[in-house]
A and B are shown apart, each in its own frame.
Chain A
Amino acid sequence: MSTTHHFRSLTPEMVEIQQKMESHARDYGLDFFPTIFEVVDADQLHAVAAYGGFPTRYPHWRFGMEYEQLSKGYSYGLQKIYELVINNDPCYAYLLGSNEITDHKLVMAHVYGHCDFFKNNHWFSKTNRHMIDEMANHGNRVRRYMDRFGVEEVEDFIDTCLSIEDLIDIHSPFVKRTDDHSDYEFRGHTDDDAPDEPQKFQAKGYMDAFVNPPKALAEEAERQRHRLLEQGKSFPNEPAKDVMLFVLEYASLKPWQLDVLSIIRDEAYYFAPQAQTKIMNEGWATYWHSTIMTRHGISPSDLICYCDHCAGTLASSPTRLNPYKLGLELFRHIEERWNRGQFGQDWEDCDDMRAKHDWDMGAMQGREKIFEVRRIHNDLTFIDEFLTLDFCREHKLFSFGFNEQSGYYEIESRQFDQVKEQLLFNLTNVGRPFIYVRDGNYKNRGELFLEHRYNGVELKLEYAEDTLANLYKLWKRPTHIETVLDDHLTVLSFDGTEHTTSKSDELVTIGEE
């Protein structure tokens, strides 16, 4: 492996620590991209974190908002970012310069855990490993459009696109559902502001208006746009989950708008695995910093500081399941089970609590197993596969819900299956509703029809309406979504000026089938 390190910003003491941590990590079998550490001050760290780790990202107010929240939270002494690491080859990690040396040790060990996870977890396998360059490229393109078409115009369009940024098909990188095309070239384009033009005849500039009469061109463009619609059939053939892709392929947008939309979609796909593996990724990194620190890293003078900060990271609260804690404990639980051979048919069939309690076949496959788990699972399958009744009891998990009468969140259940069901629900589709494009030529009028696959939880109405309105801005024809309101099948529509809700008599119930 050709490992190049840039030590320029680390102090000699930190370089020494970094080399030690790296070799410990490697000895344990962690396998990571070369990792570059940069020391930054708090302000820089907040700026980088606000940009999602990419200082060269395109300009947008929401990064400024993030930054304000991070830096205010920090200056009020309420929160602090410990580590920030970027999935890239090489990996970049940022260290807060004002941290104590104990923290640097801990963070470095933690970072190697993440880097290993990025490199080896299957869900990250399709992510762009040169995202730092790609993001810089995106930034330049967006800046160029802003120079050309105005900040306001481009920013407004970005906001519109962000409204549907989560309507992607997170599994599509692994399944071939449509024909290939390159990331950005959805239709041939330049960055001219010309509308999506039909074929033009070659002509010198001064002859252009004669050779290619604008009126004829406009008509031809209109014809092209309606060609699909004129066939009178609805498309797509099957409901499509990647609404962004559908809009890219069929909406009539200007070339620069198509490019901006494709940039946002591309970044959404890049970040998706991180949302899908939050528990595992943090759990894995915590498992390794804890293993490395407690066995090799800590000197006596580090002990109290280390314990203090670990306790802080692993604190759990009644309303928020701490991914660090849950992931760490679950990895340890798996390791323990596979060390003692608590798996397989015999184990599943055993009903004797005492036998199960004392079960130890001396299998010692724990370490091997957790490496396998980190390779193939995401949070959803991780919890589904490994959250056991024992674990649930031992860690006092419960499910909670909102009680409208009292206005409080209340503990609903400690029943294992209900807790697990709730947790899986929160993780399914990253905790968001399933939205599909059903028809891009609804009523044979080129209107966009989406469906919400109802699973017992309604959409937040005012947000759904505003999102429809933003979709209208992209699609330029009326937009609809079929969903369920008060147990009735309902279609929400936006026609460019007003929102309508048509409730059918059809009752929808979700439950025991």
Chain B
Amino acid sequence: MSLKIDRDNNRFRQIVRGKIRENLRRYVNHGEMIGRKGRDLVSIPLPQLDIPHFRYGQNGRGGVGQGEGEEGQPIARGDGEGEGTGQAGSDPGQHIVEVDVTLEELAEILGSELELPRIEPKGTDQIQQEKARYRSIRRVGPESLRHFKRTYVEAMKRQVIEGTYNHASPRVIPIKGDRRYRSWETTPEPQANAVIIYMMDVSGSMTDEQKSIVRTEAFWIDTWLRSQYDGLERRYIIHDAAAKEVDEQTFYHTRESGGTRISSAYKVCAKLLDESFSPDDWNIYLFQFSDGDNWGEDSSKAMDLLTKALVPRSNLFCYGQVESPYGSGEYIGSLEAAFGQTHEKVILSEIKDKDAIFESIKTFLGKGK
């Protein structure tokens, strides 16, 4: 029986990966991989294939619900349909199957899906930090930590002892003394720190679509590394012909029109490392995204900086080249010439489209460094 479902499951996966039944692929819905991000929960859409039917459109999306609330009060966010997916008309928007998970779970899922190895933190870093783990039960505590099941068991025990438990009407009402709370123990654990420095080309040839790919990829990288290190810092550098450090918001939303000088970003990055992140205390991850365009003479200068100032200090230097209609895509070639394809620390990846993101993350983080 389970063999039969495996056959159907394999066929589905092959369709999703575009290996068979090309004509169906346009119905495959990967959605935005970040999905919604509310407080600590992230929803990841599972890939789904839709068969077209006659269905009601947008204005039929009402229903009946139950609960409190005033008229006009928003109860759920509608999913914006087909935003930025380039291909018009094939996005089945509201049919995304979503699962809500915490960031921690997400990292675990990502790790197991991509078979990412755990990272062995390097360095001499022996900073001890107190870490809390919920392991025991106490009689006092904040209400938010109340252990419902234990509380009810206590209440029931008490009622049985008191003889107030009634089989005919089994109502168990906990009183104050019955309450039980989760409690934690602190254990000292060594803390490893890591910093990710993202560098991105924001010159005219990078379009919004390319940036959205970078953004999704960066989100997953963050998620994974955060699960591996206790303290994670992120820094962002943008460049065209000149480079500067910016905050996350600016990083994703700036668009310049100047030329491209990759070495400028490396210079800012090296300076940042000098000033704030000593390789003795930090695990350093450098990620660079670009469409592969660089100003001709600049490449040799960039290689020089990279080899001398950046690569030796970092755990990893990852270069992701996003395919763009304008970029020449040459830079990855220069890197390959300088470091080869199997360099210990320098990892190169070409990201053709959104679907290639997972593959690329696997390339970047698959070494467990």
Contacts and interface: CB of A to CB of B under 8 A. Distances in A.
A319 B63 contact: yes
Nearest to A387: B64
A457 B160 CA distance: 59
Q: Is the interface of A mostly helix, strand, loop or mixed?
A: mixed
A163 B51 CA distance: 6
Contacts of A467: 52-54
A464 interface: yes
Nearest to A462: B89
Nearest to A395: B66
Interface in B1-33: 1-2, 4-5, 7-13, 15, 20-21, 23-24
12 contacts: A65-B9, A303-B172, A316-B67, A322-B66, A398-B67, A399-B62, A399-B64, A402-B59, A403-B74, A409-B75, A412-B62, A433-B54
B109 interface: yes
A193 interface: no
Interface in B53-109: 53-78, 80, 89-90, 92, 97, 99-101, 105, 109
Interface stretch (A27-35, A152-160, A283-291): A152-160
Contacts of A464: 52, 54-55
Contact of A463 (B54, B97, B156): B54
B62 A452 contact: no
A384 interface: no
Contact of A69 (B46, B51, B68, B76): B46
Interface stretch (A43-51, A330-338, A441-449): A43-51
A404 interface: yes
Contacts of B76: 318-319, 408-409
A399 B74 CA distance: 12
A422 B63 CA distance: 6
Contact of B48 (A65, A322, A325): A65
A414 interface: yes
Interface of A: 43-44, 46-48, 50-51, 55, 59-65, 67-69, 72-73, 76, 78, 152, 155-156, 159, 162-167, 298, 300, 303-304, 308, 316-322, 325-326, 395-404, 406-414, 419, 422-423, 425-426, 431-433, 435, 452, 457-464, 466-467, 470, 481
Question: Most chain-A CB neighbours within 10 Å: which of B57, B100, B109, B170?
Answer: B57
Contacts of A68: 9, 12-13, 46
Contacts of A317: 65-67
A298 B167 CA distance: 10
B195 to A, nearest CB: 30
Contact of A50 (B5, B67, B109, B149): B5
A457 B60 contact: yes
A467 B54 CA distance: 7
Contacts of B57: 457-461
Interface residues of B, number: 64
B153 interface: yes
Nearest to B165: A300
Nearest to B75: A318
B7 A62 contact: no
Contact of A411 (B23, B73, B149): B73
Interface of B: 1-2, 4-5, 7-13, 15, 20-21, 23-24, 46, 48-49, 51-78, 80, 89-90, 92, 97, 99-101, 105, 109, 149, 152-153, 156, 160, 170, 172
A279 to B, nearest CB: 11
10 residue pairs, one from A and one from B, having the closest CB atoms: A64-B8, A64-B9, A466-B52, A64-B12, A408-B74, A457-B60, A47-B5, A460-B57, A401-B62, A318-B75
B65 A319 contact: yes
Question: Most chain-B CB neighbours within 10 Å: which of A316, A408, A414, A470?
Answer: A408
A78 B62 contact: no
Nearest to B52: A466
Contacts of B9: 64-65, 67-68
Given A152-B20, A319-B76, A467-B53, A64 B63 contact: no
A398 B46 contact: no
A396 B66 contact: yes
Contacts of A78: 99-101
A4 to B, nearest CB: 23
Given A155-B21, A411-B71, A303 B8 contact: no
B94 to A, nearest CB: 9
Contact of B51 (A62, A396, A403, A411): A62
B55 A433 contact: yes
B161 to A, nearest CB: 13
A166 B55 CA distance: 10
Question: Most chain-A CB neighbours within 10 Å: which of B48, B65, B153?
Answer: B65
Contact of A304 (B4, B56, B77, B149): B149
A408 B59 CA distance: 13
B84 to A, nearest CB: 15
Contacts of B77: 407-409
